[in-house]
Amino acid sequence: MAIITAATTAPPSAHKRAGAARQQWIGLLYVAPAVALVVVFFLIPLGMTAWMSLHNWPLMGEHSFIGLGNYVAILRDTRFWNALRFTAYYTVIVTIAIFVVAFPLALFVERPRPLTNLYRTMFFMPAVVGFASASLLWSWLLNVDSGLFSPAAYDLGLIDRKFNLLATFQPAFWSIIAMVVWKVAGFTMIILMAGLQSIPQDLQEAAVIDGAGPFARFRAITLPLMRRTLALALILSVAGSILAFDQFYIILRGGPRNQTLTAVYWIFNQSFVSFKLGYGAALSMVLLVILVALSLVQLWLLRKPEGLD
């Protein structure tokens, strides 16, 4: 960092400019493999998606260019906008739920105390399970006839008739929230813990000497100094939730009564159930734009304020 700053602020001279240019070429060489990966696996597919979105492109048969026809159709596609509304609702709820669970966990495992490593591992474990496998596990746990929750409550005499958790919206939705929090909170906890540990201890001690209580210290020192960590955790959580699909597909099939269809689920349905690949591509582009915009807004909201390092 220091070298680059020195190079750019030094007075320009022909010799140094040539050196800088060579350095830049070497730099480009170093990042070339990464650039190649991004081009091949991100930019080209993205370009193809954009190209397909301008076509009527069935899974089978001929495709034809229709300009912005797919995008016009999206404007009238109420089921997509409903799916998007549900996705937004889910994202807000699940992000809050994850932070409400992960922040206390991070505070709990941050300081060295007996068995800290055990706790950290325990809380983190579900994060290493894939979403699909976790969904399969929970769809068994939630099954009313042969699962765990409902039959256990029935056998313990807590309820007098087995209750199908997945049959109506509220219990089904909150079951998914519980599953996602169980699966993701450990990962968010690790990110937040790293942020907490990067706060210099002397700041906290100085505040204690000045007579600040724990809440004041948390609000005036911990939170501001964790801005960037929070931004990272927030963007990961929001982006992940907007792209949610596996759990709703595997556990609920978009039910009960299509009330839990997410945006990605709708794209999947249009592409691989209705075989309209072009339309699915157009929907993906719309979702991409929304996602990029949201991430920019979050980065701007959590940008580094002036005078704070």
Partner 1 sequence: MRNLIAKLTLAAAVLGSGLGTAAAETANIWVRADGSNFMPRIVDAYNKAHTNQIKLDIIPNAEIIPKYGAAAAGGTAPDALSLDLIYTPSFAAAGQLEDITDWAKSLPYFASLSPAHVKTGTYKDHIYGLPFSADASVLIWNKKLFKQAGLDPEKGPANWAEIAADAEKVNALGGNIKGFYFSGNCGGCNIFTFTPLIWASGGDILSEDGSKATLDSPQLRGAIDLYRSMVKKDLVPAGAQTDTGANFFAAFAAGNIGISPSGAFAIGALNTQYPDIDYGVTFLPGKDSGWSSFAGGDNFVVTKGTTKLPVVKEFLDFAYSLEGQTILAKYGSLPVRGDIAKEALKDLDPRYQIAAEAMAKGKTPYSVVFNDLINSANGPWTQMINEVFFGDDVDGAIANAQETMQSIIDQAPQK
- Considering only 61, 112, 114, 211, the residue that binds partner 1 (CB under 8 A) is 61
How close are the terminal C-alpha atoms of the chain, in Å?
Answer: 15
CB of 229 or CB of 270, closer to partner 1: 270
- Considering only 217, 227, 228, 253, the residue that binds partner 1 (CB under 8 A) is 253
Map residue 65 onto helix, strand or coil.
Answer: strand
CA angle, residues 87, 92, 98, in degrees to nearest 5: 115
- Considering only 261, 264, 282, 287, the residue that binds partner 1 (CB under 8 A) is 261
Using rule CB under 8 A, residue 166 touches partner 1: yes
Q: What's the token pair of residue 195?
A: 């942020």
Using rule CB under 8 A, residue 256 touches partner 1: yes
Using rule CB under 8 A, residue 44 touches partner 1: no
Stretch near partner 1 under the rule CB under 8 A, chosen from 121-129, 139-147, 230-238, 296-304: 139-147
CB of 30 or CB of 174, closer to partner 1: 174
Residues in Cβ contact with 295 at an 8 Å cutoff, skipping those fewer than 6 apart? 235, 238, 239
Residue 117 burial (10 A CB sphere; 0-12, 13-18, 19+): exposed
Q: Could you tell me the CA-to-CA distances from 224 to 216, 237, 305 in Å, in that order?
A: 12, 20, 9
Cβ atoms < 10 Å from Cβ of 212: 16
- Considering only 128, 257, 300, 308, the residue that binds partner 1 (CB under 8 A) is 257
Using rule CB under 8 A, residue 210 touches partner 1: no
CB of 119 or CB of 169, closer to partner 1: 169
Q: Which of 190, 210, 194 is nearest to 202 (CA)?
A: 210
- Considering only 164, 204, 222, 298, the residue that binds partner 1 (CB under 8 A) is 164
CB of 164 or CB of 222, closer to partner 1: 164
Q: What's the token pair of residue 153?
A: 């409550």
Rounded to the nearest 5°, which phi and psi values hold at 156?
Answer: -80, -5
Using rule CB under 8 A, residue 15 touches partner 1: no
Least distance to partner 1, CB of residue 59, Å: 3
Using rule CB under 8 A, residue 145 touches partner 1: yes
CB of 187 or CB of 249, closer to partner 1: 249
Using rule CB under 8 A, residue 58 touches partner 1: yes
Using rule CB under 8 A, residue 278 touches partner 1: no
Stretch near partner 1 under the rule CB under 8 A, chosen from 42-50, 142-150, 187-195, 207-215: 142-150
CA angle, residues 118, 124, 125, in degrees to nearest 5: 90
Using rule CB under 8 A, residue 274 touches partner 1: yes
CB of 131 or CB of 279, closer to partner 1: 279
What letter would DSSP give residue 276? B
Least distance to partner 1, CB of residue 254, Å: 5
Residues in Cβ contact with 138 at an 8 Å cutoff, skipping those fewer than 6 apart? 175, 179, 247, 251
Q: Which of 63, 75, 43, 47 is nearest to 283 (CA)?
A: 75
Residues that bind partner 1 (CB under 8 A): 58-62, 143-146, 161-164, 166-167, 253-258, 261, 265, 269, 272-275
